[in-house]
Structure 1
């Protein structure tokens, strides 16, 4: 067995061991079992080893906690609650929830953690806000979710993939006649939550084709990513000296994979001094200090500016003033790319994992084709803009917020599932894209940050689940975990 296959096999074996240990703990120490289960979910989310759900596992936990539903009954006072793990000021996930709430789908928003001020003010004032639901113990957290959810007819899950607390609560809510739906925003990773929902609200081809392995084909219905109709000025910035482009995505989305390297792309792009000498690109997400950016040539670096992560409102202002958009790769953006099209921006990217929007037809099959598309934009700007506006209108027809809400309403009524649209079905989608990408980066994720509240005895037992393979050993993990506990203790002392 070669090194790569050995690491993959070891990672799978470790996941199996962690799963087993979590289930063994349920009857003797349910609080620790929930922490380990959360750890297990995060481990699978970040290590793409071909496991996309674990319905039996989450149902096992819910069955063991069925007793906490005793005496509880549904008391419907409102229609729809959106349940989140954590709302964020950046990224597309929270924007989806905001759009639903701002367009009449939802009476309440619940979050395990505090709502950022910019999120709280972005939704209507009449929306009931249930925040900081997370309690000191897992059981108390699940109970809090139950107490809130029982006042609603429907609960739509927008949870983090590892969130076992919301998952168990949702399963129990369903047993108490609350109707649960799951918005599959992280459809490319492992996630808890599939067994809780009567309908899985799908957003892309990638999530759709994973239905069989997740055992949810009978629950799937297409909804899509809701995209607002932005106003824009088609004649903006005509007198600007430079043509300004924006690239955007979380840092990890830019990590090179084989021939797909953003630094190589930028180096090749700005070698063409004649065509692109007056072009600058602003990159949102990375800071530019990440190791892989060291390969950026000076000629390219002179045309690139890094902003790091910025709030979504600031990001929209930035791309509204830009001349074009280039999506992150090798991992693209389901929301960011189509938003740029809605702003009338000529938009470019790679089609490694498409099928999130009709806008994906604008993507290119290779880095060379991507550069050619940008060259065409510089030479024939007007034609590229006209094509962008035609695609934009089709996106409005297919993915406006109103259309997506109508599809969810259909699921609420219990109508037959809506199939994946043919135009998405025909798009390029490397079926094992995420597994291959993870394998090539050779990074095994160990979510030790989740363990400080776990008794040391259980930490030691848990770390023994870890197979001794590159790059981690049990001893290394134990030392790191101990340091994290000390840091957390000192932080608590300093904060009083």
Structure 2
């Protein structure tokens, strides 16, 4: 199912879920339905970017039954709220590293977990001396826990999953009690709850800023940006070429970003890069060679799938690469910033996102092939790479991003520190691409107006 047929089906499912939410009066079931609604639009990259109507409807239903929440006096702690924390991707380190830097700068911070994080993330936060607030609860119990935790906070910074309606509702309670909440727009191409309920949206790119203005109903916006990652506290020393290795290109991203098995666009690219051009490519994230089994023997021999790789090793592998290939058709964020900071040539094929330096992007695979062939023949533009690395170092260090956050918390909204071509950005690029595929997540059928079953 594709195109208009797929779009119409999405609208029908949207309507069915809205009807179910409207008819439901059991709070726990209502939260589940709203999560399904959020997940449906998030995983499908539909044209729905936000839905304050659902948030306000649910809040109006539950507010009369909630206890009175009052903010405590002398609040100092900044609560960073995460739904789920992982060992891969840029979402978790953005949250954790911001907390660490704020703590280093003298702020009281804590991590609030609404669902769960990996043992590695947990140990990292504990080792940093940052308090953790978490409770094994669901539904109304979780909402009460989060709301009470927020009442003791100077400010709340949401790094939540797009479908986390309970964290959204807790933020609404906090905002009404005079505690400012801020939404980190990390899933910037997707639907998300809470964007219109917070005091400001913290934006990561020019495209996220424009999309929020057009689709997310923000009270205010402030630029946060995507910080580059460091290695052993000495980012300038990361790049030591390993002379024993053959030259290789590298790309980093979750398997879903390459649409493997669902779209031929990236595997076709691998055939050209590794087969026709004979270049080595290391992929961090994907690990299923069967997705590339139709490629030529030469292409397969030059391709290395590394699967999940620990972040420090990822940086080292990137540092020794010839060039970086941004994941596509869905592009990356943190890894692109890291690549530029490392002085790597960067190539990609997607719509411009208003990131700094996104002139590296090609609009078609043919343009991408031509750009890489030119690079192989003539080498990198060292002047451009040096300028990019310097700008990233000055404007996208974790310290620079943390200071922008601090200014925002003090009421001073930050602007984007670079210029970009607004006309070159197609805000609905990914929504159009979704309509071209057969991918379709449909929520499981659940009973309406029945008490929720306890979760394990």
**2:269 is paired with a residue of what secondary structure?**
helix
The answer to whether the Cα contact below 8 Å between 2:200 and 2:221 also exists between their aligned partners in 1 is yes
- 1:388 and 2:385 equivalent? yes
Q: CA deviation at 1:332?
A: 0.8
Alignment map for 1:88-103 (pairs within 5 Å) = 88-103=86-101
Q: Distance in 2 between matches of 1:258 and 1:39?
A: 23
TM-score normalised to the size of structure 2? 0.89
Query: Given the superposition, is the C-alpha separation of residues 426 and 98 from structure 1 closer, same or farther in structure 2, using an over 3 Å criterion?
Result: same
TM-score normalised to the size of structure 1? 0.82
Query: Given the superposition, is the C-alpha separation of residues 232 and 261 from structure 1 closer, same or farther in structure 2, using an over 3 Å criterion?
Result: farther
RMSD (CA atoms): 2.8
Alignment map for 1:203-222 (pairs within 5 Å) = 203-222=204-223
Q: CA deviation at 1:316?
A: 2.2
Q: What residue is the counterpart of 1:433 in the other structure?
A: 429
Q: Distance in 2 between matches of 1:233 and 1:174?
A: 42
Q: What residue is the counterpart of 1:225 in the other structure?
A: 226
- 1:286 and 2:286 equivalent? yes
Q: What residue is the counterpart of 2:183 in the other structure?
A: 182
- 1:130 and 2:122 equivalent? no
Q: Distance in 1 between matches of 2:57 and 2:193?
A: 12
Give 5+ residue unaligned stretches, structure 2: none
Query: Given the superposition, is the C-alpha separation of residues 157 and 241 from structure 1 closer, same or farther in structure 2, using an over 3 Å criterion?
Result: closer
Q: CA deviation at 1:421?
A: 4.7
Q: Deviations over 1:251-294 (max 9, x none)?
A: 1211279997111112122344xxx44x3111112223464x34
- 1:146 and 2:156 equivalent? no
Q: Distance in 2 between matches of 1:373 and 1:234?
A: 24
Q: Distance in 2 between matches of 1:217 and 1:61?
A: 19
Q: CA deviation at 1:386?
A: 4.5
Q: Distance in 1 between matches of 2:266 and 2:313?
A: 23
Query: Given the superposition, is the C-alpha separation of residues 444 and 234 from structure 1 closer, same or farther in structure 2, using an over 3 Å criterion?
Result: closer
Q: Distance in 2 between matches of 1:147 and 1:259?
A: 46
Q: What residue is the counterpart of 2:258 in the other structure?
A: 254
The answer to whether the Cα contact below 8 Å between 2:262 and 2:437 also exists between their aligned partners in 1 is no
Q: Distance in 1 between matches of 2:28 and 2:219?
A: 33
Q: What residue is the counterpart of 1:336 in the other structure?
A: 335
The answer to whether the Cα contact below 8 Å between 1:80 and 1:152 also exists between their aligned partners in 2 is yes
Q: CA deviation at 1:32?
A: 0.9
Q: What residue is the counterpart of 2:271 in the other structure?
A: 267
Q: Distance in 1 between matches of 2:353 and 2:290?
A: 26
Q: CA deviation at 1:422?
A: 5.1
Alignment map for 1:462-477 (pairs within 5 Å) = none
**2:325 is paired with a residue of what secondary structure?**
strand
The answer to whether the Cα contact below 8 Å between 1:206 and 1:355 also exists between their aligned partners in 2 is yes
Q: CA deviation at 1:167?
A: 0.5
Count of residue correspondences: 444
Q: CA deviation at 1:385?
A: 4.3
Which deviates the most, 188-197 or 107-116?
A: 107-116
The answer to whether the Cα contact below 8 Å between 1:68 and 1:143 also exists between their aligned partners in 2 is no
Query: Given the superposition, is the C-alpha separation of residues 258 and 289 from structure 1 closer, same or farther in structure 2, using an over 3 Å criterion?
Result: closer
- 1:193 and 2:191 equivalent? no
Q: Distance in 2 between matches of 1:317 and 1:310?
A: 11
Q: Distance in 2 between matches of 1:148 and 1:255?
A: 39
Q: Deviations over 1:417-458 (max 9, x none)?
A: 43445523448322211111110112211243xx7xx6x566
- 1:326 and 2:325 equivalent? yes
